[in-house]
Amino acid sequence: MLNAPNINLAWTMLAAEECHRLGVRHAVVSPGSRSAPLAVAFARHRGITVHIAHDERGGAFLALGLAKQSGVPAVAIMTSGTAVANALPAVVEARMTRTPLLVFAADRPPELRDCGANQAIPQSSLLDGAVRWSVDLPCPTQDIPAEFVLSTVDEAHARACGLAGSQGGGVHVNWQFREPLAPEARPWDVGWLWSVARWSKDRARRPWRTSIAAPASEIVVQSGVVIAGRAPVTMRASLARWKGTLLADVTSGLARGGTAGADLVLRSAFDGDNRALLKELEPSEIVVAGDAVVSKRMHAWIAQHKGPVTVVGPGDPRVDPSHRANTVVSGASAFVGAAGLRPHPAWRRALTTATRAARKALDGERVLCEPSALADTTEACSEHAHGTIFYGSSMPIRDADFLSIHPPRGWDVGSNRGASGIDGLVATATGHALASALPVVAFIGDVSALHDLNSLQLASKVQTPLVLVVLNNDGGGIFRYLPIARHADVFEQCFVTPHGRAIAPFAKAFGIASESPTTRAAMSKSVAKALRRAGATLLEVTCTRESSETMRTRVATAAMAALAQDFH
């Protein structure tokens, strides 16, 4: 079964085959010499698709996107030195969102460490603050049994998937290699494989070791309100059938009519000082499910709640920024409504009133800017049964949540809200597209796009519709909403950081189709056209920060007025 030219390839070919038996179907390879045994083994495996990323940062985010979409870890393969350091941002996001990710990094052998050898840095523990587990493998040798290689890959996979008694996330496997690095023939004893005979002769191609998840526990909710962020599959499935009151964050994949719009409602309660509304919204209990939500007002509402607060989530990192929880349930859970559970009447009415008024106001806006581009693009997606909408971490995801612009039914949601970084967004969205082979629409700010321009090379390889909507307001518009905006001497230069660049011309350099619509009708037409095209399209919406802010204010004012009339 194993026809390896040397012992280095014998180890890495075992690893590639075991990864495949564990369900891995994608590997992202960044070029390098020391990592040649890994790159060759995975590239030659017929069951694993290899994607090439010219930089490790983008490559790690691509692997992250593949894993976020599929739920199965992808392998990011890289060489030694600063290559490993470039994987850190994606590994941080993987930890914060418990996304399974395998980083297979090559390294120098012991005799070339800490002695001034080229491209040798202390990398074996470099990612330890972010990964769930790391292991520094010895140089491949026949003195160590073959089952060690298989068992180590099994453990790495289990740790990444949260099947080893802790939460999922990134795992760093550090591979030391001596020459030969290329697949050159060097004698080795094939008898070394006899200890894994049951594995090599298994026609079912089962992994050496199988890790089994503990069964999900049931959470019975007697009354109150459930607030849902991004949650594990079991929890999300139970909440999709929820009969009580569900306030769904846009990242949850559960936002729809009747569950979305909580930020609009709370904006009216807090910013509009509608105390009658706030009083009627008070539940007997609050249950927070999954990861943290986008809305700051939602966090404030939880913090001022006087009754019980239960947090149901996978744990580590904890999801209790207000430190109000009196009960925490970790691990896989499914929600069960108690007999007689009914929706909270005030919340049900408030969500309907606010979202209806906001939608009417938004439909009446004529200018193409960030909120209207988001709404029109999302509406165009409804012509397709399935796909993924990926939200950038700054204003796009806030606008979607605040304005209740949720994905159509049948569409998944993607984001990098674990660490809320703006790095690697193009690469992560591309990973979603490659893993799903379905349409992906990504909303990305202009600064985020500049941060990840090199990942347009990754996007150019996608064969299914990938629509990159770049919302270009010439800088960091989100800073207008922060106290630093009052300090004019440094605000524009150091925080807004205007760049004066159009993004669409960069797409042409990477062979990606691009358009720059200037009206709402043209935007809808461009999105529809892009969703019919095989491959990536970049749509750039150029607007001012002021126009977007004005539109947000008008939509919020309409919702507040409607709620003030309904709750007084």
Count of CB atoms situated within 10 Å of the CB of 516: 17
With beta carbons less than 8 A apart as the criterion, state whether 514 and 504 touch. yes
What pLDDT, on the 0 to 100 scale, is given for residue 486?
86
Residue 204 is given by DSSP the state T
CATH 3.40.50.1220 positions along the chain are 225-350
- One-letter amino acid at 134 equals S
Give the list of residues 6+ apart from residue 433 with CB closer than 8 angstroms, or none: 65, 388, 439, 440, 459, 462, 464, 465, 466
Between helix 370-381 and helix 545-566 the angle, nearest 10°, is 70
Q: Is the CA virtual torsion 407, 413, 414, 417 positive or negative? A: positive
What pLDDT, on the 0 to 100 scale, is given for residue 395?
93
CA atoms of 251 and 95, how far apart (whole Å) = 17
How many helices and strands, by DSSP H and E, does the chain display?
A: 21, 19
Count of CB atoms situated within 10 Å of the CB of 282: 16
- One-letter amino acid at 186 equals R
Give the list of residues 6+ apart from residue 470 with CB closer than 8 angstroms, or none: 444, 445, 446, 449, 503, 504, 538, 539, 540, 541
Main-chain phi, psi angles of 336, to 5 degrees = -130, 125
CA atoms of 213 and 456, how far apart (whole Å) = 37
Torsion of CA 551, 271, 407, 237, to 10 degrees: 180
CATH of domain 7-200: 3.40.50.970
Torsion of CA 16, 211, 160, 39, to 10 degrees: 0
Instruction: Render each residue's pLDDT in the chain as its tens digit; 568 residues.
Output: 588 999 999 999 999 999 999 999 999 999 999 999 999 999 999 999 999 999 999 999 999 999 999 999 999 999 999 999 999 999 999 999 999 999 999 999 999 999 999 999 999 999 999 999 999 999 999 999 999 999 999 999 999 999 988 899 999 999 999 999 999 999 999 999 999 999 999 999 999 999 998 888 888 888 889 999 999 899 999 999 998 999 999 999 999 999 999 999 999 999 888 899 999 999 999 999 999 999 999 999 999 999 999 999 867 888 898 899 999 988 778 999 888 888 999 999 999 999 999 999 999 999 999 999 999 999 999 999 999 999 999 899 999 999 999 999 999 999 999 999 999 999 999 999 999 999 999 999 999 999 999 999 999 999 999 999 999 999 887 887 778 888 888 888 888 889 999 999 999 999 999 999 999 999 999 999 999 999 999 999 999 999 999 999 999 999 999 999 988 7
- Fold classified for 225-350: Rossmann fold (3.40.50)
Name the nearest CA neighbour of 289 among 269, 271, 311, 273. 311
CA atoms of 250 and 370, how far apart (whole Å) = 17
CATH 3.40.50.970 positions along the chain are 7-200, 368-542
- One-letter amino acid at 75 equals V
CA atoms of 258 and 240, how far apart (whole Å) = 12
CA atoms of 114 and 100, how far apart (whole Å) = 31
> Between β-strands 513-515 and 466-472, what pairing exists: parallel, antiparallel or unpaired?
unpaired
Q: Where are the alpha helices (DSSP H) in 437-519?
A: 446-451, 456-459, 488-491, 504-509
535: alpha, beta or left? (left if phi > 0; alpha if psi -120 to 50): left
Residue 191 is given by DSSP the state G
CA atoms of 306 and 301, how far apart (whole Å) = 10
What pLDDT, on the 0 to 100 scale, is given for residue 499?
93
Instruction: Copy the structure tokens of residue 43.
Output: 């590239």
- One-letter amino acid at 515 equals E
CA atoms of 372 and 138, how far apart (whole Å) = 56
Name the nearest CA neighbour of 312 among 418, 220, 249, 441. 220
With beta carbons less than 8 A apart as the criterion, state whether 466 and 510 touch. no
Q: Using CB atoms within 10 Å of the CB of residue 121, give its burial: 0 to 12 exposed, 13 to 18 middle, 19+ buried.
A: middle
The reported pTM is 0.95
**What's 368-542's CATH class?**
alpha beta
For 313-325, how does the pLDDT look when each residue is reduced to its tens digit (9 = 90+)?
867 888 898 899 9
Rg for the chain (alpha carbons), in Å?
Answer: 25
Instruction: Copy the structure tokens of residue 555.
Output: 């939509």
For 49-93, how does the pLDDT look when each residue is reduced to its tens digit (9 = 90+)?
999 999 999 999 999 999 999 999 999 999 999 999 999 999 999
What pLDDT, on the 0 to 100 scale, is given for residue 1?
55
SS3 372: helix
